[in-house]
Amino acid sequence: MDDKINKIRHSLAHVMAAAVQEIYPDVKFGIGPVIENGFFYDFDFPSQEGNKTQLAADILPEAEKRMRSIIKNNLPIEQVFLDIDKAEKDAKIQGQIYKAELLEEIRKGERPSAESDTEKTKDGKISFYKIGNFIDLCKGPHVKNTKDLPADGFKLTRLAGAYWKGDSSKPQMQRIYGVAFSSKKELESYLELQKEVEKRDHRKLGAELDLFVFSDLVGSGLPLWTPKGTLLRDALDNFVWELRKKHGYERVDIPHITKKDLYEKSGHWEKFKDELFKITTREGHLFTMKPMNCPHHAQIYARKTFSYRELPQRYASTTKVYRDEQTGELAGLSRVRAITQDDAHVFCRYPQVKEEILKIWEIVKEFYEAASFKLEIRLSLHDPKHMEKYLGNEQTWEKAENQLREITKEKKAKAVESVGEAAFYGPKIDFMAKDSIGREWQVATIQLDMNLPERFDLTCVNEKGEKERIVMIHAAIMGSIERYLSILIEHYAGAFPVWLAPVQAIVVPISDKSTSYGQSVYERLVKENLRVEIDSRSESVGKKIREAEMQKIPYILIVGEKEQKAKSVAVRQRGKGDTGLVKIEKFVEKIAKEIKEKKSS
């Protein structure tokens, strides 16, 4: 993030806290970090008659007004260092229980410096920042004066609930979000984009197009897919499989639960045990719903001894995994608890790595071209300063990362290197896609793993008859089908291309007299394996067309006496309107060509 805008957003979080304190002098402060496009601050408001004060949205314009007043006062934003013991004592006296808790953790060394809101100096003092009468525990950075803040470049956007430290067992606080930019023009551009984002919201469109539903009885983060939504999922998954099949992948299948022993062996248990759904059986074994598939695929490979001549082994399965995400972090299909992964793993010798990754790269390229996504490359690397976060040793990581650098160089791809973003078992090539309104998403990923084969003792017999350690390549094209569909629905605003649309065409008889002919057209198209519907209701043709257009169906085929005599259909194409009378055979040829070529619009 740009250092200047980072300082602006961080400073505005403090100014917002100061403004809120003017409105509610007894407010208790949580934390107020910078986030993408802005900032937030968590507050615990004083109780009124035994009940916690629940903010209404009208606090936002009031807080904004006071923020601008503070900014206009041209107040210095000063860093001061205070004795940590005294600061903790004062925080308790003032009722700032959350700040006191942070100070205690810092004093005891229980709060990692990378996550801390502050930092100690050598003489035991602690960093605070002061704006007028407001002072806050913070390590910075900030702008030097409130006059350096754009008074018309920020906006408070919404309220939300948030547990202290993200822990549902701790008190629930109230969070105020804001966005901030260097100028009014940038802010206005962002707000206009947000209007478009709201129109395209996949949760709204998912309901309107009848693609998926959530049920309180089933549980948060567990989407249920309707027939149309399932057609979408299957179309995407079948496309991935077509591409993989050409490169020698074989389908496998694995169970949805496993003993914890598997994940202890792989190293996943230690790292993710608090995020897993755990199950205890009658026999006392601890099982878990699987949160990933790689250890299972490794056990399929380990079932027998492979000769080097039999490698690579390429296994693929589209299957659900389950992660115990916090309720407050769930977001439509973007973040769910039941995740469908189009997962594949290649087991090969090290000299085969480049060829296999290049094959996967071609699959990724062809898949995302069908959605008109332009891809950029990010190399997600380990952080050598924190090797405790990763399996294996520095030498193994350097070898794997250099291999990925060599591959990106051969592909003549400009790769941004991102330190600390690797999986805990290996570095990644992450493919970044920009959607139709300019937002960037991480989509496909290829991961080079030289550590899990070591932990599971995966080998082949080489030319000398000796055991040789193999490597493992993890490859997810969509990653999570749910998350990818959330991106895709918003990318297309629900108007899917013909090859992907759940309903590719709808037959609309003009009147009851035309229903019989309409049915024959419908049956003909079904025989051509098209996803087609017929609207035979006794409604006006205008109403039928309007409803079909609201469902964003690519082709509306209107049939009446004239069309029946000509053995034709009157075609209305999405985005183009009426395109004229077309013989049924010609229409079938046209739509079949579009589907085969997977045109993106």
Q: Is the dihedral of CA 214, 216, 218, 221 positive or negative?
A: positive
DSSP, collapsed to helix, strand or coil, labels residue 212 as strand
Per-residue tokens: 560 = 């009446």
- Annotated active-site residue 537? The verdict is no
Contact present, 458 and 349 (Cβ < 8 Å) = no
Q: In what order do the strands lie in the sheet with 278-280?
A: 257-259, 286-289, 278-280
Amino acid code (one letter) for 479: G
Amino acid code (one letter) for 411: K
Q: How far apart are CA 37 and CA 193, in angstroms?
A: 12
Based on the number of CB atoms within 10 Å of its own CB, is 600 exposed (0-12), middle (13-18) or buried (19 or more)?
A: middle
Q: How far apart are CA 265 and CA 456, in angstroms?
A: 7
Amino acid code (one letter) for 369: E
Question: Which residues contact residue 547 at a Cβ distance below 8 angstroms, ignoring those fewer than 6 apart?
Answer: 535
Q: How far apart are CA 26 and CA 14, in angstroms?
A: 16
Contact present, 37 and 22 (Cβ < 8 Å) = no
Catalytic option among 142, 200, 233, 474: 474
Catalytic option among 96, 174, 313, 341: 341
Catalytic option among 138, 294, 348, 460: 294
DSSP, collapsed to helix, strand or coil, labels residue 144 as coil
Return the DSSP state at 246: T
Catalytic option among 342, 343, 430, 449: 343
Task: Give 339's strand partners.
Answer: 321
Other C-beta atoms closer than 10 Å to the C-beta of 186 total 15
Catalytic option among 142, 297, 428, 552: 428
Torsions phi, psi for 103 (to 5 deg): -65, -40
- Annotated active-site residue 474? The verdict is yes
Return the DSSP state at 307: B
Indicate the helix (H) or strand (E) that contains 119: none
Return the DSSP state at 490: H
- Pick from 210, 237, 244, 208: which is nearest to 500 by CA? 237
Q: How far apart are CA 379 and CA 365, in angstroms?
A: 17
Q: How far apart are CA 426 and CA 428, in angstroms?
A: 7
- Annotated active-site residue 428? The verdict is yes
Q: How many helices and strands (H and E) does the chain possess? A: 18, 30
Catalytic option among 345, 382, 491, 544: 345
Catalytic option among 28, 175, 323, 378: 323
Task: Give 417's strand partners.
Answer: 379
DSSP, collapsed to helix, strand or coil, labels residue 287 as strand
Angle between helices 3-23 and 59-72 in degrees, nearest 10 = 110
Q: How far apart are CA 466 and CA 460, in angstroms?
A: 8
- Annotated active-site residue 343? The verdict is yes
- Annotated active-site residue 551? The verdict is no
Q: How far apart are CA 131 and CA 366, in angstroms?
A: 54
Active centre residues (catalytic): 294, 323, 341, 343, 345, 428, 474
